[in-house]
Each structure stands twice: as structure tokens, then as C-alpha cells.
A and B are shown apart, each in its own frame.
Chain A
Amino acid sequence: MTIILQTNTSETRAVTKNLTTIATKTGTLRQETSIIDPVFTVAGALSDFVGCNYCTVADFGRSYFVRNIRSIRTGLVELTCHVDVLSSFANEIKANRGIVRRSQSADTYNLMINDGSLTCYQDPYILTEPFPDGFTGTTFVLAVAGG
């Protein structure tokens, strides 16, 4: 079993992560563990794990956020992980369809949809626009009986 220790500099909600490999550890899984929230006990100097916040375990078919690094004793480090579902199943997710409610992409969002999310200042613009024509003069009008 191989665990690739990595540093993830992308935000956790990114589907595609920007990863830098720190080290690769190979060994045998000696005790039970969950593949969703695995806890790995890995041999190695603690310095090997500094900067590690992400790992990939090909045998589990998943990538993980490292939530905790605990030194058991010299040369033995425990990693508490949680599956990164977005990266682990990115291709399968992208094969689906969905209804977008908010988007960064101008190809998708529509500012005419009123969801109350636009914030305004209290002082509005007051704009005036005259019409091209109006009354241009005046005249007396005298009404008399008969004709």
C-alpha cells in the first residue's frame, strides 16, 4: 500500500486540487480502518510529515484531507484523514447534470433573477430626463355666443 503525502494549496472546495508531493510511503495495512475517515500509522520521521495536509491512497481510490498529525513515538506518526469527495469522484460528478443557483461564470448567471443578494447603499441615484417637446407658447381664447 502506498500513501502519497502532499501539500494542497487549493481551497478545500476546489474540485481540482493544486498538489505538491512531499513524500511517498509504502507499507502494509496492518489494522482495520475506514476508507472514508482512515487513520494511518506511518513509520517515518515527524519532519517528513510537516507541511502535509493532503494525501492520496491509490489502493482506496481516494484522496484525503489530513485533519490531524499525531506523533506516536519517535519514528511513528499517526495521520487522521477524511476523504476529499470532490477530488476523489471529480470525473463522476462532472458526468452529471444539475441546476445552478449561483455562478461565477457570465455564461451561467443572470442578474435579472431576483434572489435579494445584491446589496445597495441607502442613497439612490435621482436621474431626470426631459421629453423632446412640450408646450411652446400661449394664446388667448375668446369664446363668444353666436358666430
Chain B
Amino acid sequence: MPFELVRPGTQIDFLGKAKVCLVISVALILIGLVSIPLRGFRLGIDFAGGTELHVSFPENEAVDEGDVRAVVQGLGIAGASVIRFGGGGSNEFLIKYASEVEDEALPDVAAEPGGEGEAATVEAADPGVEVAEAAPAAEEPVAPVESELEPPAAAARAAQADEGTVPLVRQQVNQVIASLEQRIGPVELERVDFVGPKVGAELRRAGILALVVACGLILLYIAIRFSTRFAPGAVVALVHDVLVTSGLWVIFGLEFDLRVLAALLAIVGYSLNDTIIVYDRIRENMELRTRANLESVLNEAVNQTLARTLLTSATTLVAVLSLLFLGGEVIRPFALAMAIGIGVGTYSSIFVAAPTLLFLERRFGASPATARA
């Protein structure tokens, strides 16, 4: 006999417990909302703009987080945060700060004949100090030694380009690295992410729009494939999933960035799978048992598909957990969000989708006999 996770013929009264579940769900969402002012809604640089550096020091000597922070703040960079990356013993740090400069203008180097351009580069690479002097040097047509052909127009233009040849962002980054090397020790720059304020705002907007559009399209699909009375239940379950997952994210003080958004969208698509499994069975049962009481039909459907929903979620969860524990730091936020989302999604398929359907039917719907798929 095959091993059955759920004994066939199980009859748990899921819909009876609907009220309790409602309370739990609403509570979770409320706690999440309340946490926003308390914990702050932490946005990663993808949405807030800013610069993030991932640096690593050699393994042999332990580096103190406080030291790194001191160095960075000592450079006068406002609001810098330093977090140790990875486990307790790792010498990797995440340095984050908002960029001060609104738009980094990349200078028109070609206005300066080759030689002068190179001179400016050399000076700019020396962090902080001599950058300002590169511009005045360009202003004097006499100063550049290499090129005597330099036309006055080009010199004037070079003076207009208000920085050296290296973009300001890069200058800042180089400053930080140089200081770290001076004050603490050799450091490797693993990753640099810079997001300007315009792009940050755009990504924010796009993110929210994506979530809304996804929910909308899915609503449409369910309405087409099942019927319009099934659709709201699915969407309520979806929205519930997103809100609860986000809420938990806020409660744990985690950051929202593009990866988390991708996970949320993946959850929107995926958590529907369980809901569809249940809906499918409901539809089938409705066709078979047209005279029955709606609540019992729904209950039976959920029970019959219980093994299915639990198993499919469990297997996907196994894969995601593997990613969470083995996938490395960069993918971790995504994996965690997915894991939470799968759990919440399963819960909502069992305890939210069907009860919502029942509620709506009772309030607005016709009798089960006329319910068509």
C-alpha cells in the first residue's frame, strides 16, 4: 500500500475554522503595518538610491566592524552603514551610503587633446585631494605641456566640465577603498552598486506597478478559466500572501530590494498554484454534487486536495531551502522571501481562498446549483 501523507477520507472542517484564520491573518498584517513606523520600511539602494560596496579583507586577521565604520564615517560620508556580511568569522563587509551628488556628469574628455586628458586622469586617481586642481589646469591654454595645438575653444569647454576624468561616484569609492587600505589593511572590492535617485524612484514605481498588474492579470485569467465568482477568492489569497510576507519582512527588519521584489512576484504566481488545485477540485465537485450545501462541498474539496497542496509546497520548499542554505549571501534574501512566501501561500490556499469564496457566495451569490465553472 502506498504511503499516504494524508489519510484518504480525512474530513477536517477547514471552513469552520475560517474565522480563527481570519483573525490570525489580519493580526499578522496589522503587526506588519504597525512595524513600519517602528522598524522603518527598509529600502535597499535599488529603491532608495545610494551606493553599496561589498568589500573583503584577507582571512587571517579578524577585522572589527567598528573600525571599518570609523574609517568610512571619517571620510565625511553622511549616513554610512557598515554590516558584516556572512557568518561571524567572515571578513566581508557591506558598506552602504547615500550618494551626495545628484547627477554625476561624465566630462567631455575629448575636448582636451590626448595629453592633457591623461594628466587629468593621473591627478584624479589620487583620492580627494587633487581633483579640484585638474579643472583649473585645463583652463590655462598654456599649462598643458603635451599639446600645443589645443584650441581655445576646447580649453574653455574643458573648464566647463566640472570634474576630472573619473566619475564622481567612482572617486568616492576609490577614496573609501584607499582609506580602508591605509588605515586597516589590504582590501578587495568584490562588488559596487550605485543607483542614482532617478533610477531608484523609477524602480520603486515599476515594482509596485508590476505587483498590481500581476494581480490584475491573474484575476482575469482565473475569471476566464473558472468563473468570475472564483476570481476574488484567488486575488484575496494573493494579496494576503504579499502583505503577510512583506509584513514579516518588516518585522524582521529586512531590506526590500530588487531580489525581494522578484521573489514577491514569483510568489504571486506560485502561490496561485495551490489555490488552483483547490479550485479545480471545487469545480469538479460542484458539477457532481449539485444539490449539496456549499460549505460541505468546499470542505470536501480542500480535504481531498490536502495531500496535493502540502506535497507540492513541500517539494518546492525543499528546493528553495537548498538555495537558502547553500546558495550564498547574494541570493539569500530572495530564497528567504520565497520560502516564507511558499509557506504563507500554502496556508492561504487552504484557509483563505475557499472561505473567501464561501463568504462571497453567501453574501452575493446564487445557490450552488447554478454555480458554473
Q: Do A and B bind each other?
A: no
